[in-house]
Structure 1
Amino acid sequence: MDFQPDSGLEAFRQEVRQFLQTKVPADLKGLPRSTRSRCEEVMRWQKVLNAQSWGAPYWAKEHGGTGWSVPQILVFDEECGAAGTPSQDPFAQKLLGPVMNAFASPEQKAEHMPAIFNGQRLWCQGFSEPGSGSDLASLKTRAELVKSVDGDHYVVNGQKIWTSYAHESDWIFLLVRTNPEVKKQAGISFLLVDMKTPGITVRPIRSIDDAHHLNEVFFDDVRVPVKNLVGAEGQGWNITKFLLNNEHATTADLPVQKRYMQQLRQLATTQRMGGDRLIERPEFALKLARLDAELQALGMFVQRVAKMEQEHNPASHVLGSMLKIRGTELQQKISEAMVEALGDYGAVAYPDPHEDLDPAQPLLPLQEVARSMANNMFFHRASTIYGGTSEVQRSIIAKMLFHL
């Protein structure tokens, strides 16, 4: 891949900045960023982007997207991260959207894609189950086909766990077992389910960062119309492999990591230890330089994987797993360095970054930084687990390299 600077990229960056300065409401900037922002912020931001014809920055033009190049997408993400805009719905934009573009029927696209573009429908992902996390193909949630005079449908029974934002989502894309008699990968199908369907129960899980973004979801005789099956019965595992490769490529979260590094550099020049600024202490300066070098290498890695994926190069699947490992491990290193640089403030447990501060409590120095970084450090402890553990990714790499 050619990593020479694109002469037109700076003009594109200025176009994005101009849009952010002139067309984005002030209350949608300078916000804390997480996997998914508050629902109302996500929906408003999606409407703003759609009005600019930027409603799907990551999709090809033939699917209604911007058709941007990989470097343009990275610039867009960087500038939005620097401006503190809300996130888009990552499940719709980066996971379900590509699946729908590749596998959905015209009727399914007509029903669901306009709602994604217009910010009217938020999604969650129903994959992991108790006992079926890393070994996803062993999932047990059943979907039995029932033929009826009022319309053929599936009856879904089972449980999903670690379902991010299920309590705030309108729909869920769901892996179910439609045939228990065949090889486990061959009996899986991919369903779209309205979260308001009777029989669905959502229970919260408080994670180590003391936030509520995870849930258990229970399905008790949930009726799902056959028209909500994406692809054919038994095609779910192939669809899943396609989706998970996209997920691996996004877990590097490059714009967020760049923002963390910027904050870390600021702390290094302002925080003192033993009378010296942190940047003046050789051990911390060396750590900062190493993290910066790793981040620059990761940036090139992200471009390479995304470009290969666009070209349908099978080696992108191996590199996607490598990127997942390197990106998530770097997330942990940078967030740990941030907490270390905060000193005593890094040891204080602050509320969730989305929660309002108590006006009766005076703001302490560095509290605004510390309250997000302490939570982020805890959250990123899970980054080497979700989306397939690092151990699973290494097994995938070994197997796929053997067959290349």
Structure 2
Amino acid sequence: MDFRPDPGLDAFREEVRQFLKHSLPADLRVTPTFSRSKPQAVARWQKVLHARGWGAPYWPKEHGGTGWTMQQILVFDEECVAAGAPTLDGMVHKLLGPVLNNFATPEQKAAHLPAFFNGERLWCQGFSEPGSGSDLASLRTRAELKHDDNGDHYIVNGQKIWTSHGHESDWIFLLVRTDASAKKQAGITFLLADMKTPGITVRPIRSIDDAHHLNETFFDNVRVPVANRIGEEGAGWAITKFLLNNEHATTADLPMLKHYLRQFDVLADTPLMGGGRLRDRPEFALKLARLQAEVTAVGMFVQRVAALEMAHHPMAQPMGSMLKVRATELQQRITEAHVEALGDHGAVAYPNPAEEGEANNESLPMHGLARGLANEMFFRRASTIYGGTSEVQRGIVARLLFGL
């Protein structure tokens, strides 16, 4: 493919920068992080984007989106991260939204899409279960169809785990088993449920980064109207494959990788307490140079996968899996390098910027620069697990490229 710069893309980047400069409220600017921003910030920023006509930057025009190319989307994401814009609700932007656009009825779209565009409804995902992570088709949460005077509905019982932002979400999209006698992939159905429905209980999971963004979600005789089923009963697996195969190029999280690299570059030039800079140390300079080269290589890989996706090329899926492995492993290495660069205080002294307490000691070296780096390093241990483990991705490559 052609890696020469696109002059039109440069103009688009400048347009995005000017928009962020003039339209991103100062009180919404945050230190970029892996996690979805606070609900109030997500809602406000979504409204700003919607007013500009950019409320669905990842969707085609026929579905109310911007119709941007994958290259434009990557530029938009990169500039938003660089400007400190709130993280959007990726659950609906990148996962549920395309499902609704392609499989929902007109009534379902009318019920959910306006609330999304206006920032009035946040979503979470109910896929993984205890014992059903990488083997998603083995899920056991069941839904039994019932008929009564109040209409047709499902009674849902079971448990989901690793429900990101479930405690802050208004609705959940989930997979349930509606036919225990069918082949495990054939008996799965895709439902939408209001998180305020009686019988839904959310319990926090404190992750290794000491943050609360993960949860367990329990369903105890939860009533879900049949009108909230997407597609036909038993079609959930086909819908899920569509959902998981969307936009492999974004799985690399290239904007955050570039942000991490900028942070590492600043650390390299920060004066040390004993004098000098980290950049002056040959072993550090070598590590920085290698990481710069790897981020550049991943950036080119992203462009290649994006081009394959735009052409609907069958190689997009195996190449996307390869990209996911390489990029997430790089996320881990570069955040580990951050903590190593902070020295003895690296893993314990620099909490997330959103947290307060005695640990926020401004007398520590590189206090303002380093806050949140250790949290990022701890969380990125999960990068090679969520979104399909590295083992699963390697299996996809082996099957699609080598027939194994």
Q: TM-score range by the shorter chain?
A: over 0.9
Q: SS of 1:85's equivalent?
A: coil
Using the TM superposition, name which of 316-325 and 45-54 deviates more: 316-325
CA 361–371 in structure 1, closer or farther in 2 if over 3 Å, else same: closer
Partner of 1:340: 340
Q: How does 1:316-331 map to 2 (within 5 A)?
A: 316-331=316-331
Partner of 2:50: 50
Q: Is 1:194 paired with 2:191?
A: no
| Partner Cα separation in structure 2 for residue 277 and residue 157 of structure 1 | 58
Q: Is 1:389 paired with 2:389?
A: yes
Q: Is 1:168 paired with 2:172?
A: no
Partner of 1:267: 267
Is the 1:61–1:67 contact (alpha carbons within 8 Å) kept by the matching residues of 2?
A: yes
Offset at 1:131? 0.5
Is the 1:33–1:84 contact (alpha carbons within 8 Å) kept by the matching residues of 2?
A: no
| Partner Cα separation in structure 1 for residue 239 and residue 210 of structure 2 | 33
| Partner Cα separation in structure 2 for residue 9 and residue 173 of structure 1 | 35
| Partner Cα separation in structure 2 for residue 185 and residue 243 of structure 1 | 15
Offset at 1:354? 1.8
| Partner Cα separation in structure 2 for residue 27 and residue 277 of structure 1 | 33
TM-score normalised according to structure 2 size: 0.95
CA 15–290 in structure 1, closer or farther in 2 if over 3 Å, else same: same
CA 387–359 in structure 1, closer or farther in 2 if over 3 Å, else same: closer
Offset at 1:352? 3.3
Read off the aligned partner of 2:135 and give its amino acid letter. Answer: D
Stretches of structure 1 lacking an aligned partner (at least 5 in a row): none
Using the TM superposition, name which of 236-245 and 332-341 deviates more: 236-245
Q: How does 1:196-235 map to 2 (within 5 A)?
A: 196-235=196-235
Q: How does 1:330-369 map to 2 (within 5 A)?
A: 330-356=330-356, 362-369=362-369
Q: SS of 1:246's equivalent?
A: coil
Stretches of structure 2 lacking an aligned partner (at least 5 in a row): none
Partner of 1:287: 287
Read off the aligned partner of 2:180 and give its amino acid letter. Answer: P
Partner of 2:256: 256
Using the TM superposition, name which of 268-277 and 127-136 deviates more: 268-277
| Partner Cα separation in structure 2 for residue 171 and residue 49 of structure 1 | 21
CA 328–147 in structure 1, closer or farther in 2 if over 3 Å, else same: same
Partner of 1:100: 100
Using the TM superposition, name which of 248-257 and 13-22 deviates more: 248-257
Partner of 1:78: 78
CA 368–248 in structure 1, closer or farther in 2 if over 3 Å, else same: farther
| Partner Cα separation in structure 1 for residue 100 and residue 360 of structure 2 | 49
Read off the aligned partner of 1:162 and give its amino acid letter. Answer: W
- 1:112-131 Cα offsets, whole Å, 9 max, x none, are 11111110000001011001
Offset at 1:311? 3.1
| Partner Cα separation in structure 1 for residue 183 and residue 309 of structure 2 | 28
Partner of 2:27: 27
TM-score normalised according to structure 1 size: 0.95
Read off the aligned partner of 1:351 and give its amino acid letter. Answer: P
CA 247–14 in structure 1, closer or farther in 2 if over 3 Å, else same: closer
Partner of 1:240: 240
Partner of 1:310: 310
Identity of aligned residues (%): 70
| Partner Cα separation in structure 1 for residue 141 and residue 335 of structure 2 | 36
Is the 1:197–1:223 contact (alpha carbons within 8 Å) kept by the matching residues of 2?
A: yes
Is the 1:162–1:215 contact (alpha carbons within 8 Å) kept by the matching residues of 2?
A: yes
| Partner Cα separation in structure 1 for residue 122 and residue 323 of structure 2 | 27
Offset at 1:396? 1.6
| Partner Cα separation in structure 1 for residue 246 and residue 336 of structure 2 | 27
Offset at 1:276? 4.6
Offset at 1:102? 1.7
| Partner Cα separation in structure 1 for residue 263 and residue 360 of structure 2 | 27
Is the 1:20–1:83 contact (alpha carbons within 8 Å) kept by the matching residues of 2?
A: yes
Is the 2:350–2:360 contact (alpha carbons within 8 Å) kept by the matching residues of 1?
A: no
Partner of 1:129: 129
| Partner Cα separation in structure 2 for residue 380 and residue 360 of structure 1 | 22
Is the 1:279–1:285 contact (alpha carbons within 8 Å) kept by the matching residues of 2?
A: yes
Offset at 1:313? 2.4
CA 275–381 in structure 1, closer or farther in 2 if over 3 Å, else same: same
Is the 1:345–1:367 contact (alpha carbons within 8 Å) kept by the matching residues of 2?
A: no
Q: SS of 2:47's equivalent?
A: helix
Partner of 2:181: 181
- 1:252-292 Cα offsets, whole Å, 9 max, x none, are 11111101101101111225498553222222222111111
Partner of 1:69: 69
| Partner Cα separation in structure 1 for residue 169 and residue 327 of structure 2 | 27
| Partner Cα separation in structure 1 for residue 162 and residue 76 of structure 2 | 30
| Partner Cα separation in structure 1 for residue 243 and residue 271 of structure 2 | 43
Is the 2:33–2:376 contact (alpha carbons within 8 Å) kept by the matching residues of 1?
A: no
| Partner Cα separation in structure 2 for residue 242 and residue 207 of structure 1 | 29
Q: SS of 2:59's equivalent?
A: coil
Read off the aligned partner of 1:131 and give its amino acid letter. Answer: G
Offset at 1:11? 1.4
CA 210–10 in structure 1, closer or farther in 2 if over 3 Å, else same: same
Is the 1:32–1:354 contact (alpha carbons within 8 Å) kept by the matching residues of 2?
A: no
Is the 1:157–1:219 contact (alpha carbons within 8 Å) kept by the matching residues of 2?
A: yes
Using the TM superposition, name which of 113-122 and 310-319 deviates more: 310-319
- 1:160-183 Cα offsets, whole Å, 9 max, x none, are 001100000000110111111111
Offset at 1:210? 0.4
